[in-house]
Amino acid sequence: MELLIVGTLDGQIGAASKIAIAQGGQVSLAQDIESALNILRSGKNIELVMIDVKLDVYKFISSLEKERINVLVVACGVANDTSLAVKAIKAGAKEYIPLPPDAELIGAVLAAATRENHALIYGDKKTEAILKMAKQIAPSEASVFLTGASGTGKEIFSRFIHDNSKRANKKFVAVNCAAIPETLLESELFGYEKGAFTGAVARRIGKFEEASGGTLLLDEISEMDIRIQAKLLRAIQEKEIDRIGGKTPIKVDTRIIATSNRNLAQSVKDGAFREDLYYRLNVVNINIPDLKDRPEDVPVLAKHFIKKYAELNGLPMKDLSQEAAALLDNYLWPGNVRELENTMHRAVLLSTGDEIEASAIILTDVSAMRNQQSERNTGTEVNYSGAGQTLAGMERNLIIDTLKHTFGNRTQAANLLGISIRTLRNKLKQYQEEGFDVPESNG
């Protein structure tokens, strides 16, 4: 992996670099935030940034978010910089490392950054069959088209294909075509030269160029404007791209994996998607079934998410109670794996006993039970709202506790809760009007 150190780290750069190199990393240095951003804009394979806590961490992370540069950021400073450490965490830094650097601590952070954060966990025969096919076609150079409903894990399967390909030691770059405005998607994919348009203050390498030698995931490609589809087709056919404002085509060697939760063949018939591009992408098609159709994945994934969020929140690992496990088994999971993950995250935070009890399992659509009678266990009705609490009260406590955990950061809290920032703000406004104490805003 490659590490970027930003700032002086109070003269501890040499020590931190030696530790990182000893852990198998490569190190780049930047004196200030703008220099760091230019390195990241260049498409260099940076996976972790260590930034001096005395710099404007909030400005740096805000710039990353604005330019949609995804990289893990940790703050570093002398051990007595408590207020600056808290400020950096509130700004969005994932960790704070006190200086002088400790080899074991930096090693743990580097290991966390390089470890597979997109593990493909499964227990169902259907998933096993899909993985067998994916592993078989992975070493080829063929484009792959993954279909399936939202939340089924298409990006995880995409990473699995990349990790089992000949390009595994190169970059895997993901672009969510549905999340980026149409006016920005072209520059995101193909990059631009300095001065190409208002706001282009420096050259920016596009995702196509960044992924050259590796794999580019075009997530929800059905949302791509037909004008950009033409440029994408040329890039795939000719293996070259044009930066916006550029004068010379740039050769690229990028394998494409595309995903869609829509029927792309129907979009072709409707004139919303180019037929020639569809056939270029659809060399190998793999369909990911809904979670309800691979039920043996549920208990394995649930255990994985419990462990993940127990560790994240500094809570003890717990097993599912028999009643809680029965609820998971009998639910149809309309939101698929994404809904299961959010459900288990809430359960970890809400559970108060030695096991995760049924009352901690808050299902978003109780009508989606395989068997309505499963709401009763040994003749006793399960209380979904928790003992002695209304569902609304339990939701309020969960939201406020999560906000405290993020030091008032609304964006982080919304992500943890699996809700939109607008929904969160509306809820908080309601709670304030009802007289409840809501943590002050910090993002």
CATH number, domain containing residue 416 = 1.10.10.60
Q: Of 273, 289, 305, which one is at a domain's C-terminal end?
A: 289
| pTM exceeding the 0.75 threshold for the entire prediction | no
In a domain, 142, yes or no: yes
Same structural domain, 47 and 145: no
User: Checking DSSP bridges between strand 376-377 and strand 380-381, what pairing results, if any?
Assistant: antiparallel
In this structure, is residue 341 part of a structural domain? yes
What is the CATH number for 358? Answer: 1.10.8.60
Together in a domain, 369 and 400: no
Q: Domain of residue 9: give its range.
A: 2-114
**Which pLDDT tens digits describe the chain residue by residue (443 residues)?**
678 889 887 777 777 777 777 665 678 889 899 999 988 887 676 878 989 988 999 999 988 888 777 788 888 887 666 788 888 888 888 888 887 767 777 666 666 655 444 567 889 999 999 999 999 999 999 999 999 999 999 999 999 999 899 998 888 999 999 888 888 899 999 999 998 888 888 888 899 999 999 999 999 999 999 999 999 999 999 999 999 999 899 999 999 999 999 899 999 999 999 999 999 999 999 999 999 999 999 999 999 899 888 887 788 899 999 999 999 999 999 999 999 998 999 899 888 889 999 988 988 777 788 764 444 333 333 434 344 455 677 778 778 877 877 778 888 788 777 777 888 888 888 888 888 888 887 76
Q: Are residues 146 and 74 in the same domain?
A: no
Residue where one domain finishes, among candidates 114, 143, 169 = 114
Residue 307 placed within a domain: yes
Residues 279 and 145 in one domain: yes
Same domain (yes/no): 214, 85? no
- For 156-313, strand residue ranges (E) read 172-176, 215-219, 240-241, 250-251, 255-260, 284-287
**Statement to judge: residues 175 and 198 lie in one domain:** yes
Q: Are 131 and 278 found together in one domain? A: yes
For the chain, how many structural domains are there in total?
A: 4
Determine phi and psi for 293, rounding to 5 degrees: -95, 0
- How many angstroms separate the CA atoms of 166 and 164, rounded? 7
- The reply to whether 238 and 173 lie within a common domain is yes
Give the C-alpha separation, 335 to 344, whole Å. 13
In whole angstroms, give the CA distance from residue 224 to residue 428. 35
* CA dist., res. 386 & res. 374, Å (int): 17
346 & 429 share domain: no
Q: Do 429 and 375 fall within a single domain?
A: no
Specify whether 279 is located in the same domain as 149.
yes
Under 8 Å between Cβ of 326 and 371: no
